[in-house]
């Protein structure tokens, strides 16, 4: 099957007016999507991350409680408490997730500082155009610094 293009709107959970629109091919991985989000939000230093994919239609706390977790490969290797339910983001292709338009996913970057993002699926069947993917289609709002200055 020929790859399709998925489009995600990626917003900061605590500041939804700051968002990025990202296109990615269905044959690329969640790790590729992480790299695009990392670049789109002007991050400076790599950290562990996870994506949380809940069944379509789940709301509130059930959305995270029932979600499948796809994480950075290092998080699988170095897990203090191994969890067979964790999956590798580097081995999971976007097209394998059976995502639907308007479905929401969550992405956590940096387990210590907890940069939560909400991803909304906007398209799942776009044509692949020439050029590299993933690609940042649109930006809204300034990226906050990865390490904000302490108040004081």
- Homologous superfamily (CATH) of 5-140 is MM3350-like (3.10.290.30)
Q: How far is CA 1 from CA 4, 17, 29, in A?
A: 9, 36, 16
Q: Tokens 């799942």 sit at which residue? A: 124
What is the pLDDT, as a whole number, of residue 121?
97
What is the pLDDT, as a whole number, of residue 148?
73
Q: What is the pTM of this model?
A: 0.90
62-93 tens-digit pLDDT: 677 778 899 988 877 765 555 667 899 999 99
What is the pLDDT, as a whole number, of residue 63?
72
What is the pLDDT, as a whole number, of residue 78?
64
Q: How far apart are CA 6 and CA 24, in angstroms?
A: 5
What is the pLDDT, as a whole number, of residue 113?
85
Instruction: Give me the DSSP letters along 84-142.
Output: TT-EEGGG-BGGGG---TT-EEEEEE-TTT-EEEEEEEEEEEEPPPSS-SSEEEEEESP
What residue spans define the domains of the chain? 5-140
What is the pLDDT, as a whole number, of residue 146?
80
Q: Would you write out the chain's pLDDT as a tens digit for each of its 152 residues?
A: 789 999 999 999 999 999 999 999 999 999 999 999 999 999 988 889 999 998 777 677 767 777 889 998 887 776 555 566 789 999 999 999 989 999 999 999 988 888 999 999 999 999 999 999 999 999 999 988 887 776 65
What is the pLDDT, as a whole number, of residue 76?
73
What is the pLDDT, as a whole number, of residue 124?
97
What is the pLDDT, as a whole number, of residue 123?
98
Which residues have CB under 8 Å from 116's CB, separation 6+? Answer: 12, 13, 14, 106, 107, 108
């Amino acid at each position: 099957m020929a790859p399709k293009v998925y489009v995600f709107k990626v917003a900061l959970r605590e500041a939804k007016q700051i968002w990025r629109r990202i296109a990615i091919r269905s044959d690329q991985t969640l790790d590729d999507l992480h790299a695009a989000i990392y670049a789109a939000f002007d991050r400076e230093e790599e950290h562990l991350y996870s994506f949380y994919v809940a069944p379509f239609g789940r709301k509130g706390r059930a959305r995270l409680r029932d979600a499948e977790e796809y994480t950075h490969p290092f998080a699988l290797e170095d897990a203090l408490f191994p969890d067979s339910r964790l999956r590798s983001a580097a081995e999971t292709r976007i097209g394998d997730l059976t995502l639907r338009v308007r479905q929401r996913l969550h992405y956590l970057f940096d387990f210590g500082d907890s940069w939560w993002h909400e991803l909304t699926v906007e398209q799942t069947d776009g044509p692949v155009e020439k050029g590299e993917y993933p690609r940042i289609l649109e930006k809204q709002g300034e990226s906050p610094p990865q390490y904000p200055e302490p108040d004081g």
